[in-house]
Structure 1
């Protein structure tokens, strides 16, 4: 992701809508909130994205698209939108404030796509964003307008259809769309007068609805336009009233039903089963959730559905448009498989989360990070379904298994949301509580809530011992030890005692074994035994290198920088902190990244570069309040940061310090990283 935006590539040609595109461009010169309203399948999303593409040069900070159809909970809406910009808010402070702070000094366009199921939440967020970010504009697509005074609504109509007497169909968008899509599946398509009359008849029958036209065009393989129009006539007569008039508001659903009838039994079954995915999915996920003895070749059937425009391909992923998903969901219920598919969807992501946890401390970290961020809508849907259907055990297991996502990829606030809900709903005696409890303890550590971290860790230890879960007990003990270490309640000998207890409970292949050296080195550093800390970390480096691990090695580099700083080797401390920041930036781990920037500020202050120290402290504070919380209780790392600030003030004075701090605080995360890595 770059600051120029995240507009998706167009997967096929854009047809028509010249008048609408011109009108949108004009409206954007005089309104900050434009809603494209229309029924499902009318082409609101394609129109919004093409219009945004046409004007993107007007927005130096880019055009950004937030696809909201998979969002089911208004309370998490802002977090989803913030995630588009790489913001993963973690603090108690309102996530909306963090988003507004990020957008306040930017000139950009946001497309909020598919808002009708979250109208009230969207409206509240839009008002706040437009109020707090004066150079931001928003395009909304929705079946229902937001109802705001500042909103300009443009109704998106179906394509005008050619009248029976029309001589030149090239002037009409509806047949142009049909012909464009039909040629993709039938290159030798006939376009003589009789065929074109059939195309015009077909477009009239489909009321000019773009999605219905595309579905029809996808059936042209092996058929002529005349045959297709005749088939469609027969099918649509089933919905005619006593006078032979089509029930027009059923057009799209009827077209979907007709496409459904033209599918093979295997294609119909996969269509229904794929409706369990609320957002885009990969072929592997489709196989994992949908494949069984009744559907043994998901890959082949998926390709066939894509060829028929039932499934839309987006890069190497697939998705169902909302109307198509709704139709499939109805058939899934008719088949009696709704609960089965929800369980399989949950089990697929639970299994993947467990594999991610087991394989995290290895060479695949970047791939797992990419997978986790790409699958967030499906992960959220699985968690929400568990919580709303009373599947408390499933919610506990999945929320706990996702510890990498919550603790190492920046989604601390969201992790806490799901962990707290799952823990509150499940019985205290549930054996599945042990892992979620130690994960919750680690999130509290990250948030600087040391008392809460200690309480969660103690509860996790008790639960793990009760159920004989040695691995969970070891991780809980480590979190407990860290909560004591950061509040000055544990010395190096005490840390070593904890480490022995932790190591005794861990499998040698457990990720927790790689966390211990950093903990011990931190204890040595806080106790002033810098040589011991350096020795521990340099021994650990070979184990990280052997595994091809990146994240924990970066954390060790950060602690190594603290220890080298204590030894007085400023150059080596700087190199270690930069290495930590580079790795955390690659993983987009903002929590680890801000620690490294804090350390580089300390180093700058020690090198008597007060302005650089102030700038970095300001940037770190901006990142900390945007992506995560300030420490809520006194701890050792906070004291180190405050000492660097005091030193910088002594070097350059309060006025210059405030100016440089504010400059850093006005930077973007990527800008802060670039500056911090600069010599």
Structure 2
């Protein structure tokens, strides 16, 4: 008959502290208490084993017959899973009886917990064993770790996510705490720069194993060197993790373990999907990855194996998993092919977005840019021409990506100097991005080059875009006569162009701003009324928001602060809908000016603080709003006069720390008395 050891478990002692994970541990304990089988799933190195062992230690006193850990990574024969469990429990081999029958009989009246660690390669065998054993063992609980579920009825799956990483800086996240504690244990007294620590943790996706391995490298590297070398993270993250199991000694081995368990089709898809830098859907995957050698894409299988993370109908890979797939794609000799297919896929969509931007689909395309930005940047990194970077002009000029756009445009213009229609478009887009960034000198220079090239090409719309930019630059520099001449010329060029162009309503806004600056507010309102109607006819939002912003400036200049408030808020609503941070910051500046004119000094100061934070986060000074709002200095002086310097500083500081949603809410708060 079976004999048991006198010990009440074999949970190994922990060799280092566990950072964070309190919520996960609490939830796992609850699941184990109510479910016969709980499976922890997640990507390699995310900490499934560590959490299972901590849970086992935590619940040890709840099971009279002990908590037993069965480590299965070294077992390759599924027929021997039952024997591995029996060996841990101290059962003698019985040659005449099936092992699952012996286990079922032994466990029937036991109050114990089994931890089946690393079931990935033995999923079917583990499922068969537990299906035989668990129904007759009501007081046995099984906690399994696996990249994928075991697939039994009643199984409760608990996905283990990476540790939280900071969006910026390094304060207060578990990933940062883990990295910092491990480094200081190895190199006491080492001073760590918080920004660099946060950057490293983001590069490592918050994967605990990767963080532990990276921390050990600081005995030989600086933080900056570590970050630079993480491009080859599998060569860097080797050895040193204080884990009881050898398979976790390197990230390459940990991720490679998952790779070995995949079918050939799953491995090929993993490699090809590595060209995606962010989220993608099934249609994206088919367009880029499918061919005669891979006609069916096993996306769901890669989700089950924790290679892909799914959120509704969209998928992504953690960077560590993606890098492993990219290495395989390179070894297969397919890297350049699929990087090109990825670029071409996004180029097709960008062309369509460009064609449809001046129309009712604008908000949808804005959402597309914000959603696909990592993939668009990856496509641009592997693009050497003008077409993609110019097709995405609206991302640079309308959606706050101005610094990225200028970098890609200047790179393309420097590499390709021969005149062509594509280069002409790049020139006027470059001029517009410079203007958006407040660089009027560069805007004037590029607009002049664009106008000359467009005239030579006979491209009236491009010539109009060049003249519109030059007019706005002249307005920003105070040359009103030049600005009105250029704006009129731009409008005429757009009127003569073969196809309608968004540049026309933009030029109308510039004309209205010039007229208002010349003291012709009535005529400016007439122009803006026509401009609003034109945008409404086309279902256009971005240029319309510019018109609303300009109308607010005109109304404030005419002494109607209430109307100025209404139009500035309308502009902000549209800017927020499109996700235009530069336009939003300018609109908040204008709302601050309206509040100051209404005698609301505290609210004005608070909004100025919020706008200042937005301009700073964009890497801009606020000069990009020149002509789009009442000058910030004028608003500040009015607010200080209303509430005094001390209260102004307090209100401004309050705005500086406001979250974006609170800023929009404060911008709508026009009733009641001013704050303290």
The TM-score with structure 2 as length reference comes to 0.63
- Judged with a 3 Å threshold, the aligned counterparts in structure 2 of structure 1 residues 159 and 621 are, in CA distance, closer, same or farther, namely same
- Judged with a 3 Å threshold, the aligned counterparts in structure 2 of structure 1 residues 130 and 112 are, in CA distance, closer, same or farther, namely closer
Question: 1:385, 1:25 → 2: CA distance?
Answer: 39
The superposition leaves residues 87-111 of structure 1 with CA deviations (integer Å, 9 ceiling, x where unpaired) of xxxxxxxxxxxx55xx8xxx74275
- Judged with a 3 Å threshold, the aligned counterparts in structure 2 of structure 1 residues 46 and 373 are, in CA distance, closer, same or farther, namely farther
- 1:574 Cα deviation (Å)? 0.9
> SS at the partner of 1:318?
strand
> SS at the partner of 2:358?
coil
> Within the alignment, does 1:109 sit opposite 2:173 as a pair?
yes
> Within the alignment, does 1:619 sit opposite 2:619 as a pair?
no
| Structure 2 match to 1:645 | 636
| Structure 1 match to 2:259 | 256
| Structure 2 match to 1:168 | none
> Within the alignment, does 1:517 sit opposite 2:517 as a pair?
no
> SS at the partner of 2:262?
helix
Question: 1:124, 1:361 → 2: CA distance?
Answer: 52
Task: Return the match for 1:444 from 434, 450, 457.
Answer: 434
| Structure 1 match to 2:571 | 580
| Structure 1 match to 2:443 | 453
Q: How does 1:346-357 map to 2 (within 5 A)?
A: 346-357=343-354
- 1:561 Cα deviation (Å)? 0.9
The superposition leaves residues 335-364 of structure 1 with CA deviations (integer Å, 9 ceiling, x where unpaired) of 543322222111111221222222223333
> SS at the partner of 1:375?
helix
- 1:586 Cα deviation (Å)? 2.6
The superposition leaves residues 149-187 of structure 1 with CA deviations (integer Å, 9 ceiling, x where unpaired) of 999x99767785xxxxxxxxxxxxxxxxxxxxxxxxxxx
> SS at the partner of 1:24?
coil
> Within the alignment, does 1:25 sit opposite 2:20 as a pair?
yes
Gaps of 5+ in 2: 1-10, 24-41, 54-160, 184-189, 200-204, 224-236, 671-676
> SS at the partner of 2:310?
strand
Question: 1:50, 1:553 → 2: CA distance?
Answer: 56
Pairs aligned (count): 501
Question: 2:287, 2:304 → 1: CA distance?
Answer: 21
Question: 2:552, 2:326 → 1: CA distance?
Answer: 54
The superposition leaves residues 278-308 of structure 1 with CA deviations (integer Å, 9 ceiling, x where unpaired) of 343222221222345665x55x554565566
> SS at the partner of 1:573?
helix
Gaps of 5+ in 1: 1-15, 29-39, 52-63, 69-80, 85-98, 133-137, 161-206, 211-246, 387-391
- Judged with a 3 Å threshold, the aligned counterparts in structure 2 of structure 1 residues 416 and 250 are, in CA distance, closer, same or farther, namely same
The superposition leaves residues 424-477 of structure 1 with CA deviations (integer Å, 9 ceiling, x where unpaired) of 333354553222322222222122211111112112223333444443332222
| Structure 1 match to 2:461 | 471
Question: 2:479, 2:472 → 1: CA distance?
Answer: 10
| Structure 2 match to 1:389 | none
> Within the alignment, does 1:423 sit opposite 2:413 as a pair?
yes
- Judged with a 3 Å threshold, the aligned counterparts in structure 2 of structure 1 residues 470 and 331 are, in CA distance, closer, same or farther, namely farther
Question: 2:416, 2:534 → 1: CA distance?
Answer: 38
Question: 2:467, 2:442 → 1: CA distance?
Answer: 14
The TM-score with structure 1 as length reference comes to 0.63
- 1:670 Cα deviation (Å)? 3.0
Structure label with greater radius of gyration: 2
> Within the alignment, does 1:484 sit opposite 2:474 as a pair?
yes
Q: Which moved more, 1:602-611 or 1:16-25?
A: 16-25
Q: How does 1:138-537 map to 2 (within 5 A)?
A: 141=208, 142=210, 144-146=213-215, 147=217, 253=256, 256-257=259-260, 259-261=262-264, 263=265, 270-292=269-291, 295=294, 297=295, 301-303=298-300, 306=303, 311-320=308-317, 325=322, 328-329=325-326, 332-333=329-330, 336-386=333-383, 392-393=384-385, 396-429=386-419, 431-491=421-481, 493-504=484-495, 506-537=497-528
> SS at the partner of 2:315?
strand
Question: 1:382, 1:67 → 2: CA distance?
Answer: 28
- Judged with a 3 Å threshold, the aligned counterparts in structure 2 of structure 1 residues 429 and 672 are, in CA distance, closer, same or farther, namely same
Question: 1:677, 1:285 → 2: CA distance?
Answer: 40
- 1:271 Cα deviation (Å)? 4.2
- Judged with a 3 Å threshold, the aligned counterparts in structure 2 of structure 1 residues 291 and 250 are, in CA distance, closer, same or farther, namely closer
Q: Which moved more, 1:251-260 or 1:468-477?
A: 251-260
- 1:513 Cα deviation (Å)? 3.2
Question: 1:17, 1:548 → 2: CA distance?
Answer: 65
Question: 2:462, 2:375 → 1: CA distance?
Answer: 26
Task: Return the match for 1:630 from 597, 621, 626.
Answer: 621
- Judged with a 3 Å threshold, the aligned counterparts in structure 2 of structure 1 residues 19 and 555 are, in CA distance, closer, same or farther, namely farther
